[in-house]
Amino acid sequence: MKSKTTYLAIAVGIGIIALAIFFTYSADQAKNRGQYYGDSLKSIQEEIKQTQTEFYSKKTMLDESTITIQDFVSFGNTHIQKMKEILTKYDTLSPPETFVKSTELFKASTQKQIESDESLIEWIATNDTSHRIRSDLLLQESFENEMAALASFNQAKNNAGQN
């Protein structure tokens, strides 16, 4: 009887140690997935920033008459394609549940940015000011989505840090 009790105690001890290792491993894996998500999102955001900087640099060159309207429109079409490729990267993310809303808002912001840039290019190509007005409105919506995404992201990050 004594040996059965000893074996039972050893089995329970091994079970407790195994559970502790499992929970520690799971927590580490969740942390690693969260870190990978954050790094991937940051990479997408940096790529957007770089692409937008190039686009507005070309717009400045157009304003300074160092490139033609045709050159700008041609570059703009390439820019739109690049932005659409970046947009698809949001779909490859696997955000932790608390970050889903902020990811959706970042994606919506990028979509509005693309639409704004398309309208800006159309305004420059046609000189139809309605496209300029639409571009400005879409740019404002993009900015609002970006601010909401950042707020949502920071709130989720703070909540995750408290757990």
The residue segments making up the domain with residue 147 are 38-162
- Of the ranges 9-13, 35-39, 61-65, which one carries the lowest mean pLDDT score? 9-13
Examine residue 11 and state whether it is found in any structural domain, yes or no.
Answer: no
pLDDT at residue 160 is higher than 70: no
Render pLDDT for 105-117 as a digit per residue (tens, 0 to 9). Answer: 999 999 999 999 9
* Virtual torsion, Cα 45, 123, 63, 112, nearest 10 deg: -10
Examine residue 25 and state whether it is found in any structural domain, yes or no.
Answer: no
CA-nearest of 81, 89, 86 to 37 is: 89
Q: Which residues contact 147 (CB under 8 A, 6 or more apart)?
A: none
Quick check: 87 and 60 in contact, CB under 8 A? no
Residue type, 72: F
Which residue shows structure tokens 């909401």? 148
Examine residue 5 and state whether it is found in any structural domain, yes or no.
Answer: no
Render pLDDT for 40-90 as a digit per residue (tens, 0 to 9). Answer: 999 999 999 999 999 999 999 999 999 999 999 999 999 999 999 999 999
Residue type, 36: Y
Render pLDDT for 143-155 as a digit per residue (tens, 0 to 9). Answer: 999 999 989 988 8
Q: Which residues contact 47 (CB under 8 A, 6 or more apart)?
A: 86, 89
Examine residue 24 and state whether it is found in any structural domain, yes or no.
Answer: no
In the chain, the number of structural domains is 1
